[in-house]
């Protein structure tokens, strides 16, 4: 088994075709077929099934895929570390949607200023998607809010955040400062999608008190929810970091819950077996500096 075997296997899994994988890797299709056959013989399992003229990865193949991506990523890092790669060093960072909107831009800007030979590529999605991509080594690390389920990840809380309830200045709640969770029953709400840290925390509080809100919007974008809240479409729970400008301009009234805590942390996550390169350690320090300075 070689790195080349794993690279070919990954290409077949991602393209769903021996010929497409061969084209991507600039090798012959018989070579691809031979490599997959060798891997299936070595492990004694079927890695792909042919269904409707397309190769579909099996359960065993899916299990192998995560490890293969991780091994290839480690190999690429090794090549960078010993100077074999002449390309600009790339750091793949994932962020949950709230983090991407609130904190990450300045962190990346400062890091790239201090490390001109490095380039950060950013992937933004909800916490559960970022977690999955860190697990399969599609991302080097993530900065997320909410619950992280896998024990294969290192989880380091770094940035404190507070979720707040927002409404328009003419809403009956405006100016009250605090409301009880029971007061939210039946209210129209602008909600994040299932899988986001913000949604999980709100759902848990409502469920514990048997309170039912009326979903009016369900959206992946915190910025879209912020705009809808300013437009009077409903109540929303958002990061205080995200709403502070709208509050200062008098566009939104910000409230807290008198009988529930909406504090949380943004967390760094990375694979337990991840090699912490000098580049990666430098980026982690930049995140921690941002947490200390509040910028």
pLDDT on residue 286: 92
Domain co-membership, 166 together with 256: yes
3 state DSSP class of 155: strand
pLDDT on residue 191: 96
Domain co-membership, 166 together with 219: yes
pLDDT on residue 146: 77
Walk along the chain (295 residues) and give the pLDDT tens digit of each residue.
899 999 999 999 999 999 999 999 999 999 999 999 999 999 999 999 988 778 899 999 999 999 999 999 999 888 877 765 555 678 999 998 877 767 788 899 999 999 988 889 999 998 889 999 999 999 999 999 878 989 999 999 988 888 899 999 999 999 899 999 999 999 999 999 887 878 888 999 999 999 999 999 999 888 899 999 999 999 999 988 889 899 999 999 999 999 998 888 889 999 999 999 889 999 999 998 887 765 5
Q: Indicate the residue among 15, 46, 81 that finishes a domain.
A: 81
The domain that holds 205 is classified in CATH as 3.40.190.10
Q: Indicate the residue among 81, 105, 135 that finishes a domain.
A: 81
pLDDT on residue 153: 96
Q: What single-letter DSSP state applies at residue 273?
A: T
d(CA 79, CA 90): 13
Domain co-membership, 165 together with 254: yes
Q: Up-side HSE of residue 187: CA atoms within 13 Å toward CB?
A: 25
pLDDT on residue 267: 92
Q: How many domains is the chain partitioned into structurally?
A: 3
Domain co-membership, 99 together with 177: no
Domain co-membership, 145 together with 287: yes
Domain co-membership, 19 together with 133: no
d(CA 213, CA 221): 20
Q: Nearest 5°: CA angle at 175, between 170 and 181?
A: 100
- Is residue 95 within 8 A of residue 144, CB to CB? The reply is yes
Domain co-membership, 119 together with 95: yes
Domain co-membership, 196 together with 229: yes
Domain co-membership, 107 together with 13: no
Domain co-membership, 131 together with 35: no
d(CA 153, CA 279): 19
Boundaries of domain holding 112 = 89-159+265-293
pLDDT on residue 101: 65
Domain co-membership, 76 together with 93: no
pTM of the model as a whole: 0.57
């Amino acid at each position: 088994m070689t790195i080349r075997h794993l690279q070919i296997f990954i290409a077949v899994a991602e393209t769903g075709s021996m010929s497409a994988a061969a084209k991507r890797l600039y090798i012959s299709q018989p070579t691809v077929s031979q490599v997959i056959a060798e891997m299936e013989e070595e492990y004694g399992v079927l890695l792909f099934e042919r269904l409707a003229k397309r190769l579909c990865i099996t359960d065993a193949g899916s299990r192998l895929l995560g490890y293969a991506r991780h091994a290839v990523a480690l190999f690429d890092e090794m090549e960078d570390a010993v100077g074999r790669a002449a390309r600009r060093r790339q750091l793949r960072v994932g962020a949950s949607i709230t983090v991407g909107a609130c904190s990450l831009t300045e962190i990346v800007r400062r890091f790239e200023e201090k490390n001109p030979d490095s380039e950060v590529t950013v992937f933004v999605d909800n916490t559960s998607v970022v977690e999955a991509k860190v697990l399969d080594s599609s991302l080097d690390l993530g900065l997320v809010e909410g619950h992280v389920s896998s024990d294969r990840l290192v989880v380091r809380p770094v940035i404190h955040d507070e979720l707040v309830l927002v409404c328009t200045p003419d809403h009956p709640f405006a100016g009250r400062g605090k409301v009880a969770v029971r007061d939210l029953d039946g209210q129209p709400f602008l909600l994040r999608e299932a899988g986001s840290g913000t949604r999980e925390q709100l759902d848990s509080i409502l469920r514990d008190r048997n309170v039912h809100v009326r979903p009016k919007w369900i959206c992946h974008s915190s910025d879209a929810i912020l705009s809808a809240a300013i437009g009077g479409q409903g109540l929303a729970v958002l990061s205080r970091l995200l709403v502070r400008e709208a509050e200062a301009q008098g566009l939104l009234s910000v409230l807290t819950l008198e009988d529930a805590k909406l504090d949380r942390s943004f967390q760094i996550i990375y694979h337990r077996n991840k090699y912490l390169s000098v580049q990666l350690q430098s980026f982690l320090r930049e995140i921690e500096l941002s947490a200390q300075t509040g910028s």
